[in-house]
Structure 1
Amino acid sequence: MKYQKLFTPVKVGSITIKNRFAMAPMGPLGLADANGGWNQRGIDYYTERAKGGTGLIITGVTFMDNIVEKQDPSTVPNPNYKPVQFVKTSREMTERIHAYGSKIFLQMSAGFGRVTIPTNVGDIPPIAPSAIQHRWLDKTCRPITVDEIHMIVKQFGDGAFHAKRAGFDGIQIHAVHEGYLMDQFAISMFNLREDEYGGSLENRLRFAREVVEEIKNRCGEDFPVTLRFSVKSMIKDWRVGALPGEEFEEKGRDVEEGLEAARLLEAYGYDALDTDVGTYDAWWWNHPPMYQEKGLYRDYCKMVKDVVKIPVFCAGRMDNPDMALEAIEQGVCDVIELGRPLLADPDYCNKVRSSRVEQIRPCISCQEGCMGRVAEYSLINCAVNPQAARERVTAYEPILAPKKVLIIGGGVAGCEAARVLAIRGHKPELFEKGSRLGGNLIPGGAPEFKEDDIELANWYACELDRLKVAVHLNKEIKKDDVLKNEYDTVIVATGSTPKVFSLGDDEHVYTASQVLLKEKDCGDTTVVVGGGLVGCETALWLAQHGKKVTIVEAMDKIMAVNGPLCHANKDMLEALLPFNNIDIVTSAKVTGYQDGKLSVTIDGKVTAIPSDSVILSVGYKEEDSLYHELEFDVPEIYLLGDAKKVSNIMYGIWDAFEVANHI
């Protein structure tokens, strides 16, 4: 079997993991009960990934401090808040996970410090190693005292003791990574202390050393303790991160110090290093959007692997099994971590093991359902998998009798509805007027950095074929076609159409879709009218292909109407535009296009922008006319996707799942 080496055992400390896959830690927002334990959603969520073949489950971050940086216990679990409740709920989870031959580590946090997210932790006084600037708030942090450090260290020991009693196989410490509190101590930019916790690298790592020593003292030397570790910070300045390929002076931890830190952390007793790069000031490194390349941490993991003898974990868009296999074979790392890919498909590992790679539902790195919802609503979910972290409440509903269901439209909403209906035992029949399934995924996936949008469209085509759904391409359905056939249910998912308006010389005015699909050539210079997500991504793609691009936006900033976008995605895209020499004009009104010049009014003054073409990216309009023609003639009819309301991929899929699961 091609991927057999990915399914060889590996030791981490005293335990053996059955394969080379671990579930990367992702904040378990929405998975805690009010008493610091796990709720049923959390138990089901992690168990489902063990059932799917993952060798090691690493929980998202849990807090154990109840004194210094208090957290609401319903935000994420806390083994020290009510230990009996934590052990009781954890025991149910660990026993179920062990039934599948998987191991599970509890990730425990020293705290957030200067990077506390206000929507998650409330209005608490932000702490830090020193009196430094907060990442999000216009506040100066309060320096933490030595006694408070000692209290946190002791609570690590208490929490690890309860975790071991609850059946966890080990601990992951959060973290000398991403600029969290323990990492703030380790980075000289943030640590201005003059006591035993500041100054030299050894002093700045003292906090991390005391934590592993405390846990080993309380739980035994053979109880594994791993560390989330960022080998390089990627900080240009306060709140300013570096872009891939950019030359800059590292203000945080550079690679040389990172490798020395790795050696020290191994010497202190850590059993593995879970390695990446970045900080909250450069958030698009730790939470890589689609604009980052696949496997972006591999070079850094190999550097760490070359200087330590303990296992090295590698995450960071490692969802390609061929890339994962190569990383193991070439000694880049010992364990492949999958975070968002396991949100998208909990059966990823079993599908790789059984050579069903084409059945893996792809993560599209949009971060809408995961990081976006974590930051805005304290919930972790997945845009492409509506069942993620909702496994029990979204289980497939049994049916009494199969229904014949007509689905009009083969975008994500139509495809998801057909998939769910077929799994449940109904008889869906799908008609798409175009030549392929996917709808707006096809133009949206044209840029190289959006390749996973195309993969999602291909996955739907593969799944509908595997489920034997009747799919008819190049067939537009009219009202009479619906009424003359005997369907029990009709789903209208006819999508949307780009908004357009005349600018005068419309022969050289195109929609973003036309340019993305290469139906129109924009020339060497072009102006994108509309600075939303589609407009900005179109502009970036064109600039990366050598075009001179200007974005003109009517509002006072770009991407103002898109949201909530994950900060990592939005901030990186905003930084990439000027980095790729894209001019941005805001608070501007487009008035006409003639003789190769676009007239733009800014503050009452008209400016002419020379361009070979104009690309309109000013939104989409619901195409719901067929639904309104049918709504009083069909007893059971539903309107889904952009035809219902122009939105994003996530809500198109989620709404379709909800409706199709209850027909």
Structure 2
Amino acid sequence: MFPYANLFEKTRIGSCELKNRFAMAPMGPLGLGDAEGGFNQRGIDYYTERAKGGTGLIITGVTFVDNEVEEHAMPSCPCSTYNPVHFVRTAREMTERIHAYGAKVFLQLSGGFGRVTIPTNLGEFPPVAPSAIPHRWLDKTCRPLTVEEIHSIVKKFGDGAYNAKRAGFDGVQIHAVHEGYLIDQFAISLFNNRTDEYGGSLENRLRFAKEIVEEIKSRCGQDFPVTLRYSPKSMMKDWRVGALPGEEFQEVGRDLDEGVEAAKLLVEYGYDALDVDVGTYDAWWWNHPPMYQEKGLYRKYAKLMKENVNVPILMAGRMDNPEMASACIADGTCDIISLGRPLLADPDYVNKLRANRYEFVRPCLSCQEGCMGRVQEYSALNCAVNPQACRERDMAYQPICRSKKVLIVGGGVAGCEAARVLAIRGHQPHLFEAGSQLGGNLIPGGTPDFKEDDHALAAWYGRELERLSVPVTLNHKVTAAEVLAGDYDAVIVATGSTPKVFSLGDDAKVHAAADVLNGKVTCGDKVTIVGGGLVGCETALWLAKQGKQVTIVEALGKLLAVNGPLCHANSEMLGALIPYNNIQVATNAKVQHFENGALTAQTPKGECKLEADDVILCVGYKEEDSLYKELEFAVPELYCLGDARKVANIMYAIWDAFEVANHL
């Protein structure tokens, strides 16, 4: 019997029937709108592809209703009121295509970001808020909204929802009494110091959200579904300071008691469903959970909401494990499972699961390099492991005129991705790997329990290459002579990188991080890690969780100064986990030598000695491109990919490999 049948039951949100219990969680649609506030072709293709993949309910990312009170640069996110005719025209094309697959689609309507607007998206526009409070990212004080401006935004919600209904959307989601966005800033007393009808009591602080749902229902009808993105707890210790999982702290934002009370009021006001998570931008790693958060981290909060209100509860939060998702439906934790980043990684997740082919779902790493990191830095939504995400038409597989025989040297992510794409297009790749398994740096990188999805990605590549009948030869180091003797039309060198190492004296106790992570060496109880980048910090956290005494020595002035995660949710959480797990840190410290169980380092305060049973070097990698250099002037069609070309990250290894393999 199919074990996940309950995930494919029909369900309802108000008057809207859904074909299954999966929703696409809303994610910022940066890069998916045009200069007139409509959806561009990328946006239309992107959402349609997830409907084609079987998802029952598509919830778009932020669509602004206002572009006057809180002005936004365009093209950025869509705006349903900026040019209504154009918005309806472009959105109608999208909703019609989505409906062809039996899916429903809700438009997420935003009242603005207020104090949490990401600076790269803010431009020259002054931040607004309920009161004169600090901006989340900038050293600025926000301008309080006037009552007239609040009324204007409320009316724009009615206009925006009316345009959405006209464009064929089946309902809307309000963004949000959640994550500390503008409407949430009104709802939370820490942010709201007003003395008028929009401040003070909980009912007054929720008045903005109440008037929004009332306006939409009056314009679109009582049977038009209006859902709400809702965070019943803020997870804030202070301004810009979030709490960690399991930490005891005094909540300064919305606590759970008020969260329950507010939820009851919001449902009473007319919201047809609550889409539940926890956190704020001040505790960003809750709303955008990195790999350091457990899977299903919102379950107990969704269950609390389910027990206190009588409307459907949607829940996301690293819910890509179908066994966990099925259990949540069965035990009443929630009614609908929302998938955000997993649908970036694999738009066909739901159909693959329905066909009992879950092992072929491409896993999300929760790295946030391609999604939130790029939204934060470049105002563009993408995916690290799926180069086609948000670029479905531009990055479609290219047809070939003649099948080529292609040698791929190296079975890391770059080599595997190149082989996968070449095989799909009809070429004949043959992959050789010097080691005993595919995955390259995914193997040591995935050793910590919080990096399990690295190993899942390596395993996925193995299954994909087997499914595509790609010949794979392991334990074979290819030589230049073999390449030249072979009858290949093209050669791809993806030989990866090697750890940078240097002598410190007692080198029997000095190890590369990969050797420790791969289990080639076992460390003692006291470990000093040289290098406070991503590898160093993650290795330190892994060892500390084993009960070891760990010290990080970093030459620069702070940890994660270079090569860290793009997304602040990842880097800030990892940075906070270091002291929380009693890991000692010495910055501005340059190591000199290690002998007699002591590592000597030079610091601004002079020389210091650190006791250590073992020293782990996490000082970066260098390109292993020797084979490429041997072949550079001997092979007509030759490519160098991944770390062999330039040491970077998983995302660029996959993206570069896709680009080359898709045009070879």
Question: Would you say 1:441 and 2:474 are equivalent positions?
Answer: no
For the residues of structure 2 that align with 1:398 and 1:2, how far apart are their CA atoms? 38
Are the aligned partners of 1:73 and 1:81 in contact in 2 as well (CA < 8 Å)?
no
- Once the two structures are superposed, what CA deviation does each residue of 1:620-650 show, in whole Å capped at 9, x if it has no partner? 0000000010111111110000000000000
Name the aligned partner's letter for residue 295 of structure 2. Answer: K
Aligned to 2:640: 639
Are the aligned partners of 1:386 and 1:654 in contact in 2 as well (CA < 8 Å)?
yes
Q: Tell me the SS of whatever aligns to 1:476.
A: coil
For the residues of structure 2 that align with 1:522 and 1:614, how far apart are their CA atoms? 8
For the residues of structure 2 that align with 1:243 and 1:379, how far apart are their CA atoms? 28
For the residues of structure 1 that align with 2:564 and 2:73, how far apart are their CA atoms? 26
Name the aligned partner's letter for residue 251 of structure 1. Answer: V
Worse overlay, 562-571 or 275-284 = 562-571
For the residues of structure 1 that align with 2:590 and 2:562, how far apart are their CA atoms? 17
Are the aligned partners of 1:197 and 1:204 in contact in 2 as well (CA < 8 Å)?
yes
For the residues of structure 2 that align with 1:400 and 1:130, how far apart are their CA atoms? 63
Q: Tell me the SS of whatever aligns to 1:507.
A: helix
Aligned to 1:365: 366
Worse overlay, 119-128 or 640-649 = 119-128
Name the aligned partner's letter for residue 186 of structure 1. Answer: A
For the residues of structure 1 that align with 2:261 and 2:439, how far apart are their CA atoms? 48
For the residues of structure 2 that align with 1:27 and 1:493, how far apart are their CA atoms? 34
Name the aligned partner's letter for residue 164 of structure 1. Answer: K
Name the aligned partner's letter for residue 545 of structure 2. Answer: Q
For the residues of structure 1 that align with 2:515 and 2:486, how far apart are their CA atoms? 35
For the residues of structure 2 that align with 1:292 and 1:229, how far apart are their CA atoms? 19
Are the aligned partners of 1:128 and 1:142 in contact in 2 as well (CA < 8 Å)?
yes
Aligned to 1:253: 254
Aligned to 2:317: 316
Are the aligned partners of 1:135 and 1:281 in contact in 2 as well (CA < 8 Å)?
yes
Deviation (angstroms), 1:605: 1.1
Deviation (angstroms), 1:121: 2.2
Q: Which runs of 4+ in 1 moved over 2 A?
A: none
Name the aligned partner's letter for residue 383 of structure 2. Answer: C
For the residues of structure 1 that align with 2:461 and 2:331, how far apart are their CA atoms? 33
For the residues of structure 1 that align with 2:20 and 2:414, how far apart are their CA atoms? 35
Are the aligned partners of 1:46 and 1:97 in contact in 2 as well (CA < 8 Å)?
yes
For the residues of structure 2 that align with 1:461 and 1:451, how far apart are their CA atoms? 16
Q: Tell me the SS of whatever aligns to 2:590.
A: strand
Aligned to 1:36: 37
For the residues of structure 1 that align with 2:168 and 2:42, how far apart are their CA atoms? 19
- Once the two structures are superposed, what CA deviation does each residue of 1:156-201 show, in whole Å capped at 9, x if it has no partner? 0000001100001100000000000100011011111111111111
- Once the two structures are superposed, what CA deviation does each residue of 1:482-538 show, in whole Å capped at 9, x if it has no partner? 111101110000000000000000010001101111111111001100000000000
Aligned to 1:80: 81
- Once the two structures are superposed, what CA deviation does each residue of 1:358-387 show, in whole Å capped at 9, x if it has no partner? 000000000000000001000000000000
For the residues of structure 2 that align with 1:647 and 1:132, how far apart are their CA atoms? 39
Name the aligned partner's letter for residue 94 of structure 1. Answer: T
Deviation (angstroms), 1:558: 1.0
Report the TM-score when normalising by structure 1: 0.99
Deviation (angstroms), 1:563: 4.7
Are the aligned partners of 1:410 and 1:437 in contact in 2 as well (CA < 8 Å)?
yes
Deviation (angstroms), 1:66: 2.2
**Superposition RMSD in Å:** 0.7
Deviation (angstroms), 1:564: 5.7
Q: Tell me the SS of whatever aligns to 1:306.
A: helix
For the residues of structure 1 that align with 2:113 and 2:593, how far apart are their CA atoms? 51
Aligned to 2:159: 158
Q: Tell me the SS of whatever aligns to 1:108.
A: strand
1:552-567 mapped onto 2 (5 Å cutoff): 552-563=553-564, 565-567=566-568
Are the aligned partners of 1:178 and 1:230 in contact in 2 as well (CA < 8 Å)?
yes
Q: Tell me the SS of whatever aligns to 2:43.
A: helix
Question: Would you say 1:137 and 2:138 are equivalent positions?
Answer: yes
For the residues of structure 1 that align with 2:642 and 2:481, how far apart are their CA atoms? 22
For the residues of structure 1 that align with 2:620 and 2:124, how far apart are their CA atoms? 37
Aligned to 1:655: 656
For the residues of structure 2 that align with 1:408 and 1:365, how far apart are their CA atoms? 28
Q: Tell me the SS of whatever aligns to 2:227.
A: strand
Q: Which structure 2 segments of 5+ residues have no match?
A: none
Aligned to 1:594: 595
Worse overlay, 58-67 or 215-224 = 58-67
Q: Tell me the SS of whatever aligns to 1:369.
A: coil
Are the aligned partners of 2:369 and 2:384 in contact in 1 as well (CA < 8 Å)?
yes
Are the aligned partners of 2:529 and 2:617 in contact in 1 as well (CA < 8 Å)?
yes
- Once the two structures are superposed, what CA deviation does each residue of 1:417-469 show, in whole Å capped at 9, x if it has no partner? 00000000111000001110000000000000000000000000000001110
Aligned to 1:621: 622
For the residues of structure 2 that align with 1:561 and 1:247, how far apart are their CA atoms? 31
For the residues of structure 1 that align with 2:616 and 2:565, how far apart are their CA atoms? 25
Aligned to 2:122: 121
Are the aligned partners of 1:62 and 1:106 in contact in 2 as well (CA < 8 Å)?
yes
Question: Would you say 1:298 and 2:268 are equivalent positions?
Answer: no
Are the aligned partners of 2:534 and 2:565 in contact in 1 as well (CA < 8 Å)?
no
What is the identity percentage for the equivalent residue pairs of Structure 1 and Structure 2? 71
Aligned to 1:227: 228
Report the TM-score when normalising by structure 2: 0.99
Deviation (angstroms), 1:142: 1.1
For the residues of structure 2 that align with 1:82 and 1:202, how far apart are their CA atoms? 34
Are the aligned partners of 1:229 and 1:273 in contact in 2 as well (CA < 8 Å)?
yes
Name the aligned partner's letter for residue 534 of structure 2. Answer: L
Q: Tell me the SS of whatever aligns to 1:215.
A: helix
Q: Which structure 1 segments of 5+ residues have no match?
A: none
Deviation (angstroms), 1:133: 1.0
Are the aligned partners of 1:531 and 1:553 in contact in 2 as well (CA < 8 Å)?
yes
